[in-house]
Amino acid sequence: MAVASPKYKTLTKLVNEWSAQSGDLTLVTLRRICDWAICGGFPDGTFAFPTGQAIDLLELHRAMRIAIGVGAPINRDLATQLLQRAIVSKAGIKEYCERIGVDPPQSMSTLRSKFRISQPRHSGPPDCPNGAKNVGQLEARHSAIAFINTIKQLRKGRDYSQSKIAEQANERGFCYLAQAQLEADASGDPEIQRQLAALRHEWEGSKAATNVSAGSAQSEGNSELPSAENKKRGLGRPQGSGSWEIDDLELVKEMRKGITVGEFRSITAAAKAMLSKARGSGTEASKEQRLRKRYSELHPS
């Protein structure tokens, strides 16, 4: 439970006071506060935990989305705890009110005299005009970073000595690069774009070396094996299938979209909904576990 101090007000109390003052529904007020927070309406450090640690504003917004029932990539229990523990700096509230032209909560009514008379007034937080756009860009940036980190790890682990493994790694890498590019474009973040361009250049530059090294190793290996053994090595899972990671990536995209729009209320629910599309001969339990793992790797909480 959040503990207020003379310098702070619990988020729950702030929402309730502004809702009573404006006549707006509490969930509407909560959404507007979180929209303004993620758009920079409140000064840095306004939202914190009782320990003094600043709250990640994207996590705060995700928790709000869970509370109002639209879905977000965050555990429901964690979202509830975050909203219950959150405290808000009164100095931050004051600055927000002055910036936007909002009446402070009645418990902070002494701040009213500091407004200019000509300033437009709102009895509670109004809608934030750029909330949805900013959230979409931040979520895309978060996904792009996750893809970039996955590609970097994949690049480190490429085995140049075995052609099949090298080919699979290349295929996976370019698939992740394509997904990362989509998210980077949606984020509108030039730094993310720069990082991705550099990573793509590195990946494409090393692809030729991978193919040459793997091809050489394959030739040497085949020259030492009888033709029957070479034939035997061709049996098994189709080349490029790997551990179904490429196919799973498309399912993870559907899971992410469903969680974000509120179709699925948890990662587990999203994974269960994808079971009929998941490739492989494993059990439903193993496929569900695999999809949850893929999702968590790309979209860590």
Q: What is the mean pLDDT of the chain?
A: 79
Tokens for 65? Answer: 């989305």
Residues facing residue 83 across a β-bridge: none
Q: Is residue 217 predicted with pLDDT exceeding 70?
A: no
pLDDT digits 0-9 by tens, 70-96: 888 888 899 999 999 999 999 999 999
Distance, in Å, from the CA atom of 73 to the CA atom of 65, rounded to the nearest integer, reads: 9
Cβ atoms of 87 and 49 within 8 Å: the answer is yes
Instruction: State how far the alpha carbon of 235 is from the alpha carbons of 142, 243, 246, in Å.
Output: 40, 16, 21
Rg of the chain over Cα atoms, rounded to whole angstroms, equals: 25
Q: Tokens 């502004």 — which residue? A: 18
Instruction: State how far the alpha carbon of 125 is from the alpha carbons of 233, 270, 287, in Å.
Output: 67, 34, 45
Using pLDDT thresholds of 50, 70 and 90, give the confidence band for residue 200. Answer: confident
Q: Work out the average pLDDT over 125-144.
A: 87
The pLDDT score that the predictor gives to residue 101 is 92
Residue ranges per structural domain of the chain: 8-112, 131-298
pTM of the full predicted structure? 0.65
Using pLDDT thresholds of 50, 70 and 90, give the confidence band for residue 237. Answer: very low
Using pLDDT thresholds of 50, 70 and 90, give the confidence band for residue 111. Answer: very low
Q: How wide is the angle at C-alpha 89 spanned by C-alphas 83 and 91, nearest 5°?
A: 155
Q: Is residue 271 predicted with pLDDT exceeding 80?
A: yes
